[in-house]
Structure formats: C-alpha cells, structure tokens
Amino acid sequence: MRTDQTRPSPPEPIDIRETGAPIDGEPQFSDQRLFFQLHVFADCLNPKLIIETLAKGRLNAVLYDDLNHPRGVGVLFVAENPTELMTESRALLLKTRETPNLLYRPEMTMIGRTYSSGREPNLEEWLINRPRQNVLNADFPWAIWYPLRRKPEFYRLEQRERGRILGEHAMLGRSYAASGYASDIRLACFGLDTNDNEFVIGLVGPELYPLSRLIQDMRQTEQTTKYIESLGPFFVGKVRQQFVRCL
C-alpha cells in the first residue's frame, strides 16, 4: 500500500511571465506582450475598402504597398489581446470579399509575440512601447518582414554559448539602429506559425537600402551561417497609411 511518504511531490509551478534585468536587486516581471499579424493580398486594384475597414477598426494597424507585387498590399495588425487580433482580421477578410479579384495570400501570413531574454533594462519599453512605436513611426515608411527557424543543434548548445552567438547578431542590429538606418521588431512564433517557424523579424527604417544591407550583413554572422534552418518568405512593403489608436 502506498503511503504519504511514497507519494511523488507535486511539480513546482511554472512561471511563464516575461522577465527583465533586476532593478535595485528586484527582478522585473510582466504578463503583458504584443501580438503582431501580417496579412497579404494580391490584385488590389483599389484599396479603398481596406482603408475604410481599418479606419473603423479598434487596433493599431499599417497598410503597406507590396514592393514585389505591384498590385499587392499588406495589412499589419498590433494588439495585446490575440482574440481582438482574430476579430479584426476576420472582419477585414470578410470585407475584402466585396472587392473584385482581390486575392488573399495565406502563405504570406506571419504572426508573432514580443518576448524578453531576461536582460532588458526596461521590460515594458521592450515588450510594448518600442515595438509599437517602431511600426507606427511616420519616419520609417519602409519595412521588411520575414519568418525564420533555427536548426535543432542551436538549442543543444550551452546557454552561455547561445548568448555569445546571439550577442554578435544583436550588436549588428544595434549598430544600424544607433546610426538611424533601421529598427527591428523581434517576435517569437513558436506553435503559432503554420510552417513551424520560430521567429518573425520586422525591420523598419527611412530608406530601403539599409534594411537590405542589414540582412546581407547578418548573413555573415555565426548564427545565420551555422544555425539557421530557413528564412522567408520575405514581405517588402512601403507604408501607404497608418492607423494609430495609441502609442
């Protein structure tokens, strides 16, 4: 007969909050994060209905013209609540059925959530304010969005080694940001992406060339050359209109 002494101990509770760097010895925790979702359409001869729908919506949103598809557009939604994201996306897709010949491209849909690494000095700024301000910055009309997946070998590395590899990548991004060339939006999409991608990256800036050059320079880092399984597809857009509810 099993006694109390032989019963297994209950598992420790799992803490899934976002964590930042300690302030005065006290750790930062947050249950807030932003979700971003990009929808892409082809053969948009007249975006009037999309603009009207986004103008009536409740979420921060961006309408892009698609560089690689002259009659294409992209719509980016931003929300803290994924249910609101789903509601607004479905309302848009239902409305777009009224537009003749407009073609939805589900293979280009991207979704991700902001996340922390545990080293952020200001957690709310990293999770909420900075990503939202970057995509809604009127001085950053150009954007490149793409998903990626790492090779399994990366996750078998020791944490210190992973940090070193990611640090090289991050320093490059910070250098471009400090020079005013590009700002990034880094999103996790584990279990959210239909193609099993792990991250979605958004690069925004005043000109297109520096965004392309940053991606070129990142191809030479150890993370990309050794540990990236797949990149893309890439969406390249220029802002047609922004719909700002809050910053």
Say what the pLDDT of residue 45 is.
87
Query: 92-103 pLDDT, tens per residue?
Result: 888 888 877 889
217 vs 169: CA distance, rounded Å: 10
136 Cβ contact partners less than 8 Å away, ≥ 6 residues apart: 60, 62, 78, 242, 244, 247
Query: 120-130 pLDDT, tens per residue?
Result: 899 999 999 99
Query: 170-181 pLDDT, tens per residue?
Result: 899 999 999 999
220 vs 224: CA distance, rounded Å: 7
Question: 3: pLDDT confidence band, cut at 50, 70 and 90?
Answer: low
Element of type H or E holding 171: helix 159-178
DSSP-derived letter for residue 91 is: H
Look over the chain and give the mean of its residue pLDDT values, rounded to a whole number: 93
132 vs 82: CA distance, rounded Å: 15
Among 5-9, 154-158, 189-193, 215-219, which stretch is predicted with the lowest mean pLDDT? Answer: 5-9
**For 224, what's the count of Cα atoms within 13 Å in the CB-facing half-sphere?**
14
Domain ranges of the chain: 35-242
Query: 10-24 pLDDT, tens per residue?
Result: 888 889 999 999 998
Question: 144: pLDDT confidence band, cut at 50, 70 and 90?
Answer: very high
Question: 4: pLDDT confidence band, cut at 50, 70 and 90?
Answer: low
Say what the pLDDT of residue 46 is.
87
DSSP-derived letter for residue 10 is: P
Q: Please check the confidence at residue 205 and state whether its pLDDT lies above 90.
A: yes
102 vs 105: CA distance, rounded Å: 10
Count CB-CB contacts under 10 A for residue 215. Answer: 17
135 vs 59: CA distance, rounded Å: 13
Say what the pLDDT of residue 10 is.
82
Q: Please check the confidence at residue 1 and state whether its pLDDT lies above 80.
A: no
Say what the pLDDT of residue 214 is.
97
In contact, 148 and 230? CB cutoff 8 Å: yes
pTM given for the model: 0.93
Question: 151: pLDDT confidence band, cut at 50, 70 and 90?
Answer: very high
Element of type H or E holding 211: helix 208-218
Beta-bridge partners for 242:
62
Say what the pLDDT of residue 19 is.
92
- Total number of residues shown for the chain: 247
Please report, as a single letter, which amino acid is at residue 226: K
Say what the pLDDT of residue 2 is.
53
Say what the pLDDT of residue 181 is.
97
In contact, 36 and 111? CB cutoff 8 Å: yes
Beta-bridge partners for 229:
none
What's the CATH fold of domain 35-242? Alpha-Beta Plaits (3.30.70)
18 vs 123: CA distance, rounded Å: 8
